[in-house]
Amino acid sequence: PFINFLLLISLSSLPLRALSNRLDPSHLPNNFLFGTASSAYQYEGAYLSDGKGLSDWDVLTHRTPEKIKDGSNGDIAVDQYHHYQEDIDLMEAINVNSYRFSISWARVLPKGRFGEINYGGISYYNRLINALLLKGIQPFVTLSHFDLPEEIVYRYGSWLSPESQEDFIYLADLCFKSFGDRVKYWTTFNEPDNLVTYGYRRGEAPPFRCSKPFGNCSEGDSEKEPYVAAHNIILSHAAAVYIYRTKYQAEQGGKIGIVMHCDWYEPISNSMADKKATERARSFTNNWFLDPIIFGEYPPIMQKILGNILPEFSSNDKEKLKSGLDFIGINYYTSYYVKDCIYSKCEPGPWITRTEGLFEQSALKDGVPIGKPTSIDWQYVYPQGIEKIVTYVKNRYNNTPIFITENGYGELDKPNNTEEQYLNDFNRKNYMVGHLDSLLEAIRKGADVRGYFVWSLLDNFEWLQGYTVRFGLYHVDYATLKRTPRLSASWYKEFIAKHKTET
Ligand code: AM3
C-alpha cells in the first residue's frame, strides 16, 4: 500500500509541476497579504465562557439540532478561544502574514446595545490581536459573519427592523474604539447576500423566514423581506463606515470594506436572453449590495424589475452612502451557468428571485458540469472564474482595491478515511494552484488585488453541514482537537516563502 501511495503522490503532482512553473508568486505585489480565513461561530467554541451571551446560531443549534446535517453545533467547534496561541503558531509555521477572523457579537455585547459591554469578550480579542501582531500577522477583522445576539432577533426580528442599524453602529463603534489602534483591516459584513437569501428567502438559516414556493416556513415573505433585510444591512454598513471615517480613520489609519459572496455566472448559451439573464443574476446578487455602497443606488435592473418592492434611500441615507468603502472582499468558490426565466419557462425555486422567475442557475450545461465536480454538492472547480469575477468587479467598480477574502476546497468527511487519505489533499492543493494562477492573470491585466485568504486554516463547523465538510489546510480530530498539517499546508507555506525571497 505504501508503494501505491507513493505512486499516487508522484502521479498526482505531475500536472501540478507543470502548473507550478507558470505560477510565479513574484508577480504578486510586495506587501501582498497571504492569509487564512475563519469566523467566530465556526471556530471559537466557548459558547458560554466569560460572560458571552447567546447568539442566534447557539439558539438554533440547541433548539432545532435537526436543521444541522449531523445535529452538531459550535459549542466547542475547534475551541480557538482556548487554542488561539497554538493556532497562531500554526499560522506562523506556514508563513502567512494575515489572519481573517470575525468578532462574536454576543461575546462582546451579550444583549446587543440593550445590555452591558462584556469585558471578558473584549479581553479575548485583545489577547488574540496582540498575539497575532507579536508574530507579525495582521488581523483582518469582520464585524459580522452571520451570527448575532439572540436578543436582537427576539426584540425585533434582526435585520428586518431599521433598529438593527443602531445595534450594528454600536458594535462597530465599540470595536473601532477597542481594537482599532491595532487592527488596520476591517470589513463590516460577510456575504450579506448569502445571509439574506438563506435567512429571509429560503428560510434555511436564522431567522428562518420565507414563503412558498421559495421554502417551507411558517412566517415570512420571500418576495419582500430579503430586500428589507438587505436595505438595513447596506445602511448599517454605510453608518459604520461613516463613523470610522469621521471618528477613527485619520488617527488609526486603517481601511474598511465589505465581503461579498461572488460566484461567477456564465450565460448558458449565446442567446441575448441568457446573456441578459446573466447580467440580472449579477445585479440580484453582488451588485445588489455593491452598487448602493459605491454608486449610491440599487442596480437599475433591480429598480426596474422590483419597482416599489425595493426600499428607497432617503437623502440622508444617500449622504451616508457617500462614505463608500476602501476595498471589496471577494469570496470565490465556484461558478454557475445562468438561464433566462423571463422569456422561457423555469421551475420556480429558491434561487429564482421572484415567483414568476427571472433567472435560474445551474452547474450543468447539456449535462456537462462547468468545472470538475467535488464531493460537495455546490462546488465545481472552475479556476477561470476567479479571474473573471475579479476582472468584472474591477471594471464595474473603477478598479477599487480587492482582497480575495475566501477561496477554498471542501471535502465531504469520510469517517473511514485513513490518515494517509485525509492528509494527502492533492485536490485542495491543485485547487489552490489553479486559482492563484488564474488570480495572477487578473493581476497581470491590471486588477488591484492586495491579498488572498484561504478558507480555511483548520477544518471547522460548516454551518448547516455541521462537521461533515472539511476545508482545512490542517486536519482537526474533533475527539482530541489535535491539528495536523495536510499537504496543502506545506504547499501554501512554500508558495509564500518563494514570494518572500523573490520580492
Ligand atoms: O462557511 C464558510 C465558507 C465555506 O462554504 C464561510 O463562513 C462562508 O463565508 C462561505 O459562504 N463559505 C461557504 N459557503 C457555502 C454555503 C454557505 C451557506 C451559509 C448559510 C448561512 C447563512
Q: Which of 60, 191, 407, 468 to mutate to test the pocket of ligand 1 (most atoms within 8 A of CB)?
A: 191
Question: What amino acid is encoded at 88 in this protein?
Answer: I
Say which residues have a Cβ less than 8 Å from residue 62's Cβ, sequence separation at least 6: 73
Q: Is 484 buried (19+), middle (13-18) or exposed (0-12) by CB count in 10 A?
A: middle
Question: What amino acid is encoded at 307 in this protein?
Answer: G
Pocket lining for ligand 1, CB < 6 angstroms: 39, 42, 146, 190-191, 194-195, 198, 205, 261, 331, 406, 455, 462-464, 471
Distance CA 119, CA 107 (A): 9
Q: Let me know the angle formed at the C-alpha of 317 by 115 and 196, rounded to the nearest 5 degrees.
A: 65
C-alpha 268 – ligand 1 centre gap (Å):
25
pLDDT per position in the chain (503 positions), as tens?
Answer: 454 544 444 444 444 444 445 688 888 988 999 999 999 999 999 999 999 999 999 999 999 999 999 999 999 999 999 999 999 999 999 999 999 999 999 999 999 999 999 999 999 999 999 999 999 999 999 999 999 999 999 999 999 999 999 999 999 999 999 999 999 999 999 999 999 999 999 999 999 999 988 888 989 999 999 999 999 999 999 999 999 999 999 999 999 999 999 999 999 999 999 999 999 999 999 999 999 999 999 999 999 989 999 999 999 999 999 999 999 999 999 999 999 888 877 776 555 555 445 788 889 999 999 999 999 999 999 999 999 999 999 999 999 999 999 999 999 999 899 999 999 999 999 999 999 999 999 999 999 999 999 999 999 999 999 999 999 999 999 999 999 999 999 999 999 999 988 77
Q: How far is CA 476 from the centre of its chain?
A: 21
For the CA of 190, the closest atom of ligand 1 is 9
181, 222, 311, 394 from 299: Cα distances, Å = 36, 20, 13, 16
Distance CA 145, CA 195 (A): 9
Say which residues have a Cβ less than 8 Å from residue 307's Cβ, sequence separation at least 6: none
C-alpha 281 – ligand 1 centre gap (Å):
19
C-alpha 406 – ligand 1 centre gap (Å):
10
Q: At what angle do helices 80-93 and 119-134 cross, to 10 degrees?
A: 10
Contact 364, 336 (CB under 8 A): no
Q: Give the single-character DSSP code of 137.
A: P
Residue among 56, 104, 105 nearest 80 (CA)? 104
Q: Which residues are catalytic?
A: 191, 406
